[in-house]
Copies of this chain bind each other. A is one copy, B any other.
Amino acid sequence: MFILVNLKTYPCDPVAVAEAVRDVDEKTDARLAVAPQDAHVERVAATGVETWAQHVDPIDHGSNTGHALAESLAEAGAEGTLINHSEKRLKLADIDGSIRAAERAGLETIVCANNPAQIGASAALGPDAVAVEPPELIGTGTPVSQADPDVVEDAVDAADGVDDDVSVLCGAGISTGEDVVSAADLGAEGVLLASGVAKADDPAAALADLVDPL
C-alpha cells in the first residue's frame, strides 16, 4: 500500500512531517512518501524520506518564468509528482505534457481525477498511477471508501478497462487505518492523505495509527 502525504500549502513544518513519515516508513511494510511545496523539496528530500512534487508543468528547459520544471524538482530530490490535483486542474493536453515532462526527468506520476470516467481518461495517457478524489469529499474527514465506495471500485474498473498496468489510488477524507484498509479492500493500491496527517498535533502518531492495520 502506497501512502502519499500531501502538505499542500499548510502551515506545518515540512521537515518535521517528513521526518515523521520517514520514521514510520521504516517500521512498516507500506510505502510512505510526502509531497511538500516546491520551495521545500530539497530540505524535505534531505531527510531521506521519499519526496514527491505536487505538480509539474508541461514544459522543458527554456523561457518559462514562474513554472515548475520536472528536471529541477528531480534534481532537488523529488522522485514522483502529482498531476492534475483537484486544486490544480489542468487542460487535457497539459496533463499529457506534464506526464511526458515527468517521465523525461525520471519522476513517477500520479494523475488525479474526480470520477471514474476521468480516471479512465487519465489512465489512457499512460501515467504510473491514477487517483480518484471526489472533490466534494476533500477535506471533509468523511472517507471516500465509506461515503462513496462505488466510486473507488468503478475507478479501478475504469482504469483496468483502459490499461491494467496503471495503479489506482484514492483520496479525500481518509484519516484512519480503517479507511486505508477499506480503500485496499475496494481495490485501491494506495491513498492520498493531507490534513489528517499534516494538520495533526502529532503527525508521527497519526501515521502510526494509519499504518497499524496494514
Q: A9-B72, A117-B125 are in contact. List 17 more A-B contacts (CB 8 A).
A: A8-B63, A9-B61, A10-B62, A39-B41, A39-B76, A55-B65, A55-B66, A63-B138, A63-B194, A65-B85, A66-B87, A89-B93, A92-B118, A95-B121, A96-B121, A121-B121, A123-B124
Instruction: Find chain B residues with CB under 8 A from A31 CB.
Output: none
What is the size, in residues, of chain A's interface with B at 8 Å between Cβ atoms? 64
Q: A38-B39, A66-B87, A73-B39 are in contact. Are A118 and B93 (CB under 8 A)?
A: yes
Interface string of A86-109 (1 = CB under 8 A from B): 111111111110000000000000
Q: How far is the CA of A124 from the CA of B82 in the complex (A)?
A: 21
Q: How far is the CA of A40 from the CA of B90 in the complex (A)?
A: 24
A126 close to chain B: CB less than 8 A: yes
